[in-house]
Amino acid sequence: MLRRKVHATATTSLSRYSSTTTTTHGRHFQYLQCSKLPTLYFQRSLPRLPIPLLDNTCQRFLAAVQPLLSPSELGHTQQVLTQFREGIGMELHAKLKDIDDRNKHTSYISQPWFDMYLSDRAPLPLNYNPLLVMKSDIRPEYQEQIVRTTNLIISSLRFWRSLQNNLLEPEVYHMNPKKSDTASYRRWMKVAPKALATYASYAFKAFPLDMSQYHRLFGTSRIPRLGKDELVHAPESKHILVMRRGHMYAVNVLDSSGFIESPSVIMGRLKAVLQLDGQREAAEVPLGVLTSAQRDEWAKARAHLVKSSHNADILHREVDASLFCVCLDTPEDGVFQEENQVPLLKHLLGGKATNRWFDKSISLLISADGTASVHFEHSWGDGVAVLRYFNEVYKDTLELPFVSTDSPHTPADGDTGNVRAINFDIDNQTKSSVEEAFAKNSAVMNSLEMNLLKYPRINKKTCKQYGLSPDSIIQLSFQLAYRQAFNKYVGTYESCSTSAFRHGRTETMRPCSTATQAFCEAVLKPESSKPSANELRSMIDKCSKMHGQLTKEAAMGQGFDRHLFALRHVAQLEGVQQPDLYETEAYKRINHNIISTSTLGSDALLAGSFGPVVKDGLGIGYSIQNDFAGAIVTTYKDLADGKVFINSLESAFNKIYNIIEQSSTK
């Protein structure tokens, strides 16, 4: 893999990479990586996602719902589950196995999961599209908005071209990178039979991951249709979509041969966008707002919009087919403030939607101060592919950015062939649709509350010091926080990737367990009857062990959520009446995910956020950094109290930290 060394200034890089056509067409500029192993080297040999045994799924489901049910509810669930396992469940399981056997090229969950995403009619912002905010570049000459945008665009294109040409490093999870992420490992893999390459990699404790989603990272759009959306893909596109104050521009970033344009040319074209945009008022009818609407409403509005052949042509050619979207925000949209992050995070997560196109697979949001974020549509893929892109691009822009504030640019004023203002024919009906979508999105965003916590005493260092699993400690803290704040246990969702399998997606890990319940009840006992610190520490270790086991099962395709989901999907396909199991309070309660959590381990991540998945729920984006544990909690006003939860979470952290510290000193 070719990596570039850090240079003092971008002026040096500009002279190296854009002085001649030969240089900009060279591998060092055109590709982010030049892997010795082809990108999809392991894809053919990846194992298939297993369908769990029906008995195991039923046992795991029963264990997961136990903390959420009363004794009588649990007894009823056991009866229904037994009937399901011995009756209709067996029939559906057999049909699912048969379908899976006839589709060996994919996984049993892939198509149903796509259908689930694309059929949901809920608006994309808050309900589906997550937000990832990059750490800033501490060097002012690279943080300026257009400079950072230029560098991010170039690095994104370098990533894309590496992927297209099979030069991007295969996605491999290395248990011990010092031993397996080496030239020697790659030499052995290169001589391994391709049909067995994945299994050969296992010998190095290196686990190849599915990369089938990667091709949709760029050039992909979700198109609204009545009842069910569709994904369209334009891999040969040469331009990106740039948005500014609700106006839309198509900007060519690849030349006619598919090579990345020089840094000075790309920066010049972005500056031309600013100049064009400065010559007119903000968009009176910002069409991007329509992508925030309920999907059927947007489908109807789009169907009307494309009755005009002009609109149909430019919407398909310039918007849908763009490689990705770049949203240049203004100072009025907000800048990052460490002491008050909420206003900008809310704006980036959903905001007014006037300067967004939520249907693009990837959108780069660049605030006026250079704060950079990735906003992505979720139906096409999961966090593994997006996080790889996010990390690689961030690292690339830090190691050797191609432009700085001192870099010259190639003027593109009047170059309407490469910088094209996208202007639609808008009638009163479309204007009314935009106004309605704007009002509805504003109402939802106004009802969204966001609360943050940074807790310094629990971090990567303390977890390592005390031999703790960071994720299990955080998840245990969520359970304790909710129990002491609201006096109950609720459905809790933690996503776990199954990308170790061909066309794997995700499985649900259920952090609310009998072990976490026992610990929470013990901690909240009166002091006179509370177990000792050592006893409580033992309970923490038991929680951690169970959490690790559940995580391992989920990652190996041995959870229960996706299996039950697929069995219900088969029943729908076969026209079979929905089994009683899916009508039980147990099934409804565990799938009403009041606590929905997600974490992305990344040194590039400044913040991550998403909306609650149910109206009375909490959307918790969390991470453990080197110096703190952090959580961003979203809730809907008057339906859930995020502030109470955050205060309780700090108390829970304190209790757990004190137990750990006290038990280690005795």
Which sequence positions are flagged as catalytic?
A: 378
Residue 24: name the closest of 154, 164, 156 by CA.
Answer: 154
Distance, CA of 37 to CA of 35 (rounded, Å)? 5
Reading the block at residue 637, the tokens are 């006003």
Which DSSP state fits 560?
A: S
Encoded tokens for 108: 């049993």
Greatest pairwise CA separation for the chain in angstroms: 79
Residue with tokens 């950072």: 148
**The pair of three-digit structure tokens given for residue 35, joined into one six-digit string:** 């892997």
Kind and range of the H or E run holding 598: strand 595-599
The sign one gets for the Cα dihedral 525, 528, 529, 534 is positive
The CA–CA distances, whole Å, from 296 to 10, 155, 439, 450 equal 47, 36, 17, 28
Cα distance between residue 12 and residue 484, in whole Å: 57
The Cα 264–Cα 157 span in angstroms is 15
Which DSSP state fits 319? Answer: I
* 452 Cβ neighbours under 8 A, 6+ residues apart: 341, 342, 630, 631, 632, 633, 646
* CA 481 – CA 648 distance, rounded (Å): 5
Quote the radius of gyration of the chain (alpha carbons, Å): 26
> What's the CA gap between 311 and 305, in Å, rounded?
7
Of the CA atoms within 13 Å of residue 356, those in its CB half-sphere come to 33
DSSP conformation class of 51: P
How many Å apart are CA 603 and CA 395, to the nearest integer?
10
CA-wise closest residue to 373 among 598, 607, 191, 212:
607
